[in-house]
């Protein structure tokens, strides 16, 4: 950097000296022309005024003054003053340039140091997460989710979606075309509000983790962003219109500036947060309705499944989402989920096994590596798969069963518990910390709460 600054300074010096020389030459030529004109004027005056000897004696002082005026070295003085002025201004330019490059060096140094600190912190965080994950996996114990029967709540209207916020204080649930808002304290649900902005069944609900907002998608083709106001009431902040059929699934990235939606109109839409949410891109590679979406840990890949027997792998490249792989599967599927950046699971409809796909390290393509036996048969959509990393638990609904699967350190998947609800019409959600499993099913028509217990 210093060599570049020195080189620039030397270039400016050479160019400045050339400018000064050119200006001095131009000034010299200008004053030579002025001298010639003054001489001509003086000669014309002498010839025009025919001076007699007596007059010459009396006017001699005046003539001497005129000659003295002509002979004074004004040219040299002006040259010196102009040159000095130019040098002063050039020096100021150099000072400004020096200050600019010094500031630039400081900014680059600070930026470089910040990048190093950020990389170090990312490495530390990654190591901490890995150590925590390893520690968790080494200390895994058998578990069960125990029903808290006294906390069950009846609801006769359809409930296709449930979501709980980050600190497990608020639960929202679909109630036909409405949304019920519950306080959720110590596994007890208390309804505090009823939202009625949708005109058809609410099909999907997602809480944001960083902000006090949640998102709903409905069969009315709308997505609504909800926020909590100063009166602690939930209000509609923005409605997103763009899909031409039922909304079937939604996901939000960790930065909460991207929403991805899947619809029965065969499309996947990417919505970006600017001043408001806008649709920035639409993927049209599915041939039928889109039922499931999942985002990887790195937040640069989305997978989707639907009614057309395809799984799409969509990657962000230069701020655009590109389909980089299209996997053909034996039958349609309603749910899939990333376990980590290199592994995801997929539940084919009507099958008593779940597929595991892993990335090939050579060609970066996903291939099916194993099938995990799970209870269930013909299924119903909704109730997305969830992976709770802190407890290494995969929640996989299949037909009338909710299968709670433990992923072990060696990559093996084992069913720890399978809850049979006696109906395929089950919808639910597991809290982010894995403490509670909340469901609604068509047979009991109840919200049921189950709590994690180690055996």
Please give the distance of CA 420 from its chain centroid, rounded to a whole number: 40
Query: Per CATH, which fold does 145-454 belong to?
Result: Methylamine Dehydrogenase; Chain H (2.130.10)
At 122-172, the pLDDT tens digits run 555 555 545 555 444 557 889 999 999 999 999 999 999 999 999 999 999
- The three-state DSSP-derived secondary structure of the chain is CHHHHHHHHHHHHHHHHHHHHHHHHHHHHHHHHHHHHHHHHHHHHHHHCCCCHHHHHHHHHHHHHHHHHHHCCHHHHHHHHHHHHHHHHHHHHHHHHHHHHHHHHHHHHHHHHHHHHHHHHHHHHHHHHHHHHHHHHHCCCCEEEEECHHHCEECCCCCCCEEECCCCCEEEEEECCEEEEEEEECCEEEEEEEECCCCCCEEEEEECCCCCEEEEEECCCEEEEEEECCCCCEEEEEEEECCCCCEEEEEECCCCCEEEEEECCCCEEEEEECCCEEEEEEECCCCCCEEEEEECCCCCEEEEEECCCEEEEEEEECCEEEEEEEEECCCCEEEEEEEECCEEEEEECCCCEEEEEEECCCCCCEEEEEEEECCCCCCCCCCCCEEECCCCEEEEEECCEEEEEEECCCCCEEEEEEEECCCCCEEEEECCCCCEEEEEECCCCEEEEEEEEEC
The position carrying tokens 């050479």 is 14
The position carrying tokens 């600017």 is 274
Nearest to 221 by CA among 234, 207, 203, 206: 203
Q: How far is CA 29 from CA 36, 134, 144, 148, 447, in A?
A: 11, 86, 101, 104, 100
Task: State the pLDDT at residue 66.
Answer: 47
Nearest to 442 by CA among 428, 452, 430, 431: 428
Task: State the pLDDT at residue 28.
Answer: 66
pTM: 0.70
Structure token digits, residue 397: 């609904």
Task: State the pLDDT at residue 47.
Answer: 55
Please give the distance of CA 392 from its chain centroid, rounded to a whole number: 27
Give the whole-angstrom CA distance, residue 425 versus residue 379.
8
Per-run averaged pLDDT (10 residues), the chain, 455 residues: 62 68 68 64 54 50 49 60 66 65 68 61 52 56 96 96 96 98 96 98 96 96 96 96 97 96 98 95 97 97 96 96 97 95 95 95 94 84 93 95 94 94 94 97 97 94
Provide φ and ψ at 425, rounded to 5°.
-90, 75
Task: State the pLDDT at residue 191.
Answer: 98
Q: How far is CA 58 from CA 62, 63, 286, in A?
A: 9, 10, 113
CA atoms within 13 A of residue 199's CA, in its CB half-sphere: 4
């Amino acid at each position: 950097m210093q060599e570049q600054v020195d080189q620039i300074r030397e270039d400016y010096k050479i160019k400045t000296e050339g400018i000064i020389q050119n200006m001095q030459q131009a000034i010299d030529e200008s004053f030579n022309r002025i001298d010639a004109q003054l001489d001509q004027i003086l000669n014309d005056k002498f010839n025009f005024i025919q001076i007699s000897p007596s007059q010459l004696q009396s006017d001699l002082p005046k003539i001497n003054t005129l000659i003295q005026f002509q002979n004074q070295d004004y040219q040299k003085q002006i040259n010196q003053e102009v040159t000095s002025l130019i040098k002063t201004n050039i020096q100021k330019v150099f000072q400004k340039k020096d200050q600019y490059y010094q500031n630039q060096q400081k900014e680059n140094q600070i930026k470089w140091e910040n990048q190093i600190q950020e990389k170090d912190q990312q490495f530390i965080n990654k190591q901490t997460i890995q150590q925590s994950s390893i520690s968790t996996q080494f200390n895994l114990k058998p578990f069960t989710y125990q029903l808290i029967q006294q906390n069950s709540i009846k609801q006769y209207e359809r409930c296709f979606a449930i979501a709980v916020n980050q600190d497990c204080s608020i639960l929202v649930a679909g109630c036909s075309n409405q949304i019920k808002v519950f306080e959720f304290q110590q596994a007890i649900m208390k309804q505090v509000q009823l939202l009625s902005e949708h005109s058809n069944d609410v099909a999907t609900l997602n809480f944001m983790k960083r902000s006090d907002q949640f998102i709903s998608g409905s069969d009315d083709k709308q997505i609504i962003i909800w926020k909590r106001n100063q009166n602690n009431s939930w209000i509609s902040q923005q409605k997103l219109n763009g899909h031409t059929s039922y909304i079937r699934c939604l996901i939000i990235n960790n930065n909460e500036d991207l929403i991805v939606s899947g619809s029965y109109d065969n499309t996947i839409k990417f919505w970006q947060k600017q001043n408001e949410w806008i649709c920035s891109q639409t993927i049209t590679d599915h041939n039928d309705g889109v039922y499931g979406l999942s985002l990887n840990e790195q937040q640069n890949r989305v997978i989707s499944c639907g009614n057309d027997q395809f799984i799409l792998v969509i990657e962000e490249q230069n701020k655009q989402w590109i389909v980089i792989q299209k996997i053909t599967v034996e039958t349609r599927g309603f749910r899939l989920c990333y376990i980590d950046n290199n592994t995801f699971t997929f539940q084919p409809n009507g099958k008593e096994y779940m597929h595991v796909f892993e990335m090939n390290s050579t060609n970066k393509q996903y291939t099916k590596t194993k099938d995990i036996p799970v209870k269930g048969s013909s299924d119903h959509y909704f109730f997305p798969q969830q992976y709770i990393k802190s407890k290494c638990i995969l929640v996989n609904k299949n037909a009338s069963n909710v299968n709670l699967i433990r992923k072990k350190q060696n990559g093996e998947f084992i069913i720890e518990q399978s809850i049979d609800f006696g109906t395929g019409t089950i919808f639910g959600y597991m809290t982010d910390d894995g403490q509670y499993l909340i469901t609604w099913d068509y047979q009991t028509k109840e919200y049921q709460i189950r709590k994690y217990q180690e055996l």
